[in-house]
Structure 1
């Protein structure tokens, strides 16, 4: 091995080159994907893991996907100690390292000579996985058998870079849209093979020993950065309680995050063991999603330039227990929705728990829930006579406010931290027999605060030609995303059905309907929580909110204490009236 330490400039060059490789993998998958959930919404992630199962690089991967990739590669090596160059493996097993059955992960071991140096990982959310009902999110599945998904526990799908046809045919027989699935499979495989090719080229340029030295030093550097970031937090134990709202016959699920910061030691412990046992439904989290969402909540509170890799993870301990709704499910417990809903609540609690450390810390709670605007649609397209299944991401939950800024308007879900893309309405209408009436932001729906939570959204859509089946699972329809440090909660979510007669009936928290042409599904999403006392918000920021339609003039005066006057096209702040109004409200 090369003696001494690497030059910092060389370290930076190699680190950025690894990120570039992951971004090229990402671009490959985005451009080659067949379904809109992949090619439009970008519900996938790519990463590089070392041959010793340590996460090395993830670029813009979704948090809910990335932090468990090393668990999958570890299981891969346990099951297949004879890995060879040219192999590829498919994994979606939630009981060891996978996130949930819908996330098909392709793992390609990268060999340099006889050395298994890296594993290129590409994980993509499928439009259909053979569930007993046409949805990849089956909230009320009592167990894995009722869920019905195809399970691939690190199954080999390529040998010598050629498909193993038996596995491919299994999928074609059980998946409702086999050609679409196969196209997405090829895109995911192509992303992993792209990573393999570029990593070998990287080693050709720098040499095996120098790359090994870089990995060791990069992890040590990342650990030092994480230690420094944790040392800047106040030491203490911070506990946050919340719940996932009731769905179907299930009552609300109480949730708790118990987070301890030891600033002097530069360590954080996140204890999730004091949570309910697994529920007889698909809402249970997996080992990977429970771990990664707790860590994601912590990362949302520290310097964003700290690398997200195994070196940084050395300073964080996440405590789980078996048979826990936010822990380690036992077979045959269903974890169909392990990447959302309860997971969204968990990251909210983890990121807001640090608010107990003082007004300069913590992040409010972001909007949660997968209502019909993020539902799975399926049926037969009357234009082609062919079946279709697709996970839509047209709706958008409002993002949480923080110490530094307002909530992110296109947050979508806490587990994705704004990295998931909203669907194109036009592409959805082109690819599937649906038509949207409106998609719009709701004024006064973001949690008020010194920094404001992002607005909720409302939308309506109908079927065209034939009925369209819609499956969804709401959250935040009972308990809204909370603000912190005096910030208000965001709006609650709701779902309804507008009949052809104009009558509107409420839809339950989770369900499935056959949407007829002329009927419209209505979905109101949740807004993000606010940060800080709204009466201390900059008056010009409130003026901007009113001009953009985020906040009404009435709310500006009643909640923020800011009096807006003038015509709609030229509003302005009445400074004297605002001072009087804020004094009357007891502004601090």
Structure 2
């Protein structure tokens, strides 16, 4: 059977900007509705509460038209890559996309961010021609990897040990449900009642998106929608090019290091460099990752070039150069990426070669975004933060009455200080953007007790604007089970900017019910735990921004009153003298003059 014709956007189409904006608003509302429906229909807290999902519409070529603003950038951002990967895989098999198809895809070497982020794509046909795609993505609690869960599989030796691979699999073929695929899923994943339920919710949300898009076509016509999409992609591109053109031409480089595997005797697996060189030339930017460490072929910290690396770079540039606080609502579409070129040598961490494993790409990708921000600090210092405290992802699991339970938790990091503002405390940073799970939700569904959830008590990184504070999380297992962890930031302190103090690294401890204590590295493969064992995690503190001696004394006093540090530390770190709950101006001036000398 021949593939139906494809409607391709024409740049020759013209539309007035008001109609284009109205259509853009309608498209964005469709994506938002898809996200709300997916959250409400999902079974697992990682989607329902943490919002670790994506929802978007693309045109027939995979160019993004809109995305759900509630979703994480690492879910919605890769969706165009999913579409390209699906098309390549189907073409290689001699298959085509037809009305009634629903396509499942999670190939990290075919556009997906990593294996647990599974997409479901519904093609949209208008008058028999392929016009668009409605797509949802979401992180799933288990996809049949070597050990329970889909986070912390840090000892995977290749792509096959990371779980099931879905390369453009039609779970529905021209409207006929492929029941064998669903049975394979149920038979090969842990907690299938949750995972399959979430997948079915994704399909329904994507189908809702397709229905709403067709209703929009019925109102405006496909020609008008195509013209609006072209207009708004060109508009977003112009905004990005104007922002780049305002930068000084030149090349600006930065380097950071990630932990890798700190307890591994092989030096090729620890303290690995990430290098970024940003070249500005007119209205275009090239981000060159040459010099980044070679891929680790038997450990899963490699980052898919398409799906992780590109999204980390696009998001960082868009957030810094087109800050919504200044620019307002910028249409999120493919036009934003046109002026950006990314270079990464084949075989490095940022462009691995199959079958190098990639499931734990989360924290290296966040470190790459942070390194790009450090490079940009040389030319737009007032638009960046100092070094961020990286995140960690934990999977808890166990058996209850012969059935697996699995829970995934994202532990917050923190931002560095910013020009005019302190760093944000205890938040997901950069491309993560997920929410925390409410304690009540965790304790009502799982054999886990949350004993502590608070800010770190050690002093935040000093600066004219202090660094953000990481969280302290303590979990007690109420039955025998296990945990696995992927994280970073135990060996390196988040960088301080322009005289600001470097931040504090993260820490991880297992406190056993029998009284023993185990200091853990930032990455922990499947680790058995007993009833009463406690996992204690301290998130990193972000770096400080600017000279601490320039911090407003009143702000230092507020920090003391808030308990972030004491009076002695106020004098030592900031040169601020506090007496009887107030700033002593004369003593402060003398202290600061002494320190400056």
TM over 0.5: yes
Partner of 2:327: none
Aligned counterpart for 2:398 among listed residues 379, 382, 399:
379
RMSD: 2.1
CA distance, structure 2, for counterparts of residue 438 and residue 421 of structure 1:
18
Whether the 8 Å CA contact 1:444–1:555 is kept in 2: the answer is no
Other-structure match for 1:107? 121
Q: Which residue of the other structure, out of 507, 513, 538, is the alignment partner of 1:494?
A: 507
Moved more, 419-428 or 442-451: 442-451
- Counterpart of 2:567 (choices 547, 553, 560) is 553
* Separation in structure 2 between the aligned mates of residue 261 and residue 166 of structure 1, nearest angstrom: 52
Q: 2:154 aligns with which of 139, 162, 165?
A: 139
Tell me the residue number matched to 1:302.
321
Deviation at 1:581, TM superposition (A): 2.5
1:409-448 alignment, distance < 5 Å: 409-416=425-432, 419-448=433-462
Tell me the residue number matched to 2:299. 281
Query: Which residue of structure 2 lines up, in the alignment, with residue 325 of structure 1?
Result: 349
Partners of 2:97 and 2:123 within 8 A in 1: yes
Question: Structure 1 residue 271 and structure 2 residue 282: aligned?
Answer: no
1:445 positional shift: 4.8
Are residues 1:259 and 2:274 paired?
A: no
What does residue range 107-506 of structure 1 map to in structure 2 within 5 Å? 107-137=121-151, 138-147=153-162, 149-161=163-175, 163-247=177-261, 248-249=263-264, 250-262=269-281, 265-279=282-296, 280-288=298-306, 289-305=308-324, 306-327=330-351, 329-338=352-361, 340-357=362-379, 359-370=381-392, 374-381=393-400, 386-393=403-410, 395-416=411-432, 419-464=433-478, 466-506=479-519
Q: 1:489 to 1:223 in 2, by over 3 A?
A: same
Q: By how many angstroms is 1:235 displaced? A: 2.1
Mapped to 2, the partners of 1:59 and 1:272 lie a distance apart of 29
Q: In structure 2, how many angstroms separate the alpha carbons of the residues matched to 1:533 and 1:5?
A: 52
Aligned-partner SS, 1:146: helix
- From 15, 19, 26, give the equivalent of 2:35: 26
Residues 576 and 450 (structure 1), Cα distance of their counterparts in 2 relative to 1, 3 Å cut? same
Find the aligned partners of 1:437 and 1:530 in 2 and give their Cα distance. Answer: 30
Quote how far apart the aligned CAs of 1:75 are.
Answer: 2.2
Q: Distance in 2 between matches of 1:181 and 1:297?
A: 31
Contact 2:464 2:547 (C-alpha < 8 Å) held by counterparts: yes
Give the deviation of 1:460 after TM superposition.
Answer: 1.6
Q: CA deviation at 1:14?
A: 1.8
SS at the partner of 1:360? helix
Change beyond 3 A, Cα 1:540–1:146: same
In 2, Cα distance between equivalents of 1:16 and 1:105: 24
Q: Distance in 2 between matches of 1:308 and 1:129?
A: 30
Report what 1:10 is aligned to. Answer: 19
Counterpart residue number, 1:63: 73
- Give how far 1:444 is off: 4.1
| CA offset digits 1:61-105 (Å, max 9, x no partner) | 322223321121122223336312221111100112111111011
Shift >4 Å, 4+ stretches: 1-5
Aligned length: 569
Q: How far apart are 1:161 and its partner, in Å?
A: 4.5
- The structural deviation recorded for 1:404 is 4.5
Q: Distance in 2 between matches of 1:553 and 1:146?
A: 53
1:410 CA displacement: 4.0
The answer (yes or no) to whether the contact 1:398–1:446 under 8 Å persists in 2 is: no
Matched residues in 2 for 1:540 and 1:162: separation? 68
Instruction: Evaluate the alpha carbon distance shift between residue 563 and residue 254 of structure 1 in structure 2; reply closer, same or farther with a 3 A threshold.
Output: same
| Shift of residue 136, structure 1, vs aligned partner | 1.3
Displacement of 1:154 in angstroms is 1.2
**Unpaired runs of at least 5, structure 2:** 1-9, 325-329
User: 1 CA distance for matches of 2:12 and 2:312?
Assistant: 38
Give matches, 1:527-538, under 5 Å.
527-538=541-552
> Which stretch has the larger CA shift, 547-556 or 504-513?
547-556
- Would the alpha carbon gap of residues 400 and 579 (structure 1) be closer, same or farther in structure 2, given more than 3 Å must change? same
CA distance in 2, matches of 1:152, 1:501: 43
- Note the alpha carbon deviations across 1:219-247, whole angstroms, 9 max, x for none: 11111111111122222211111111141
Paired residue secondary structure (1:414): coil
> Residue 542 in 1 paired to residue 556 in 2?
yes
Change (3 A) 1:182 1:561: same
User: CA 1:293–1:359 in 2, change beyond 3 Å: closer, same or farther?
Assistant: closer
Structure 1 position 16, deviation (Å): 1.9
- After superposition, the C-alpha distances for 1:256-310 in whole angstroms (9 at most, x for unaligned) are 0111112xx2111001132222102000000221111122222232122443321
SS at match of 1:341: helix
CA–CA distance in 1 between the matches of 2:305 and 2:84?
13
Question: How many angstroms does 1:553 deviate by?
Answer: 3.5
Q: 8 Å contact 2:134–2:209 — kept in the other structure?
A: yes
Whether the aligned pair in 1 keeps the contact of 2:426 and 2:455 (CA below 8 Å) is: no
Q: List gaps (5 residues or longer) in structure 1.
A: none
Following the alignment from structure 1 to structure 2, what is the Cα–Cα distance between the partners of residues 3 and 414? 37
Contact 1:562-1:573 at 8 Å conserved across structures: yes
Q: Take 2:15 and 2:564, find their aligned partners in 1: how far apart are those partners?
A: 50
Cα 1:267–1:379 change in 2 (3 A) is: same
For residue 560 of structure 2, give the secondary structure of its aligned residue in structure 1: helix
Query: Which residue in 2 is equivalent to 1:577?
Result: 587
CA displacement at 1:182 relative to structure 2: 1.2
Once the 2 structures are TM-superposed, how far is the Cα of residue 551 of structure 1 from its aligned partner?
Answer: 4.1
TM-score under structure 1 length normalisation: 0.92
CA distance in 2, matches of 1:445, 1:107: 48
Worse-matched range after superposition: 436-445 or 100-109: 436-445
Shift of 1:369: 3.8
Alpha-carbon distance in structure 2 between the residues aligned to 1:219 and 1:358: 25
1:505-520 → structure 2 map (5 Å cutoff): 505-511=518-524, 512-520=526-534
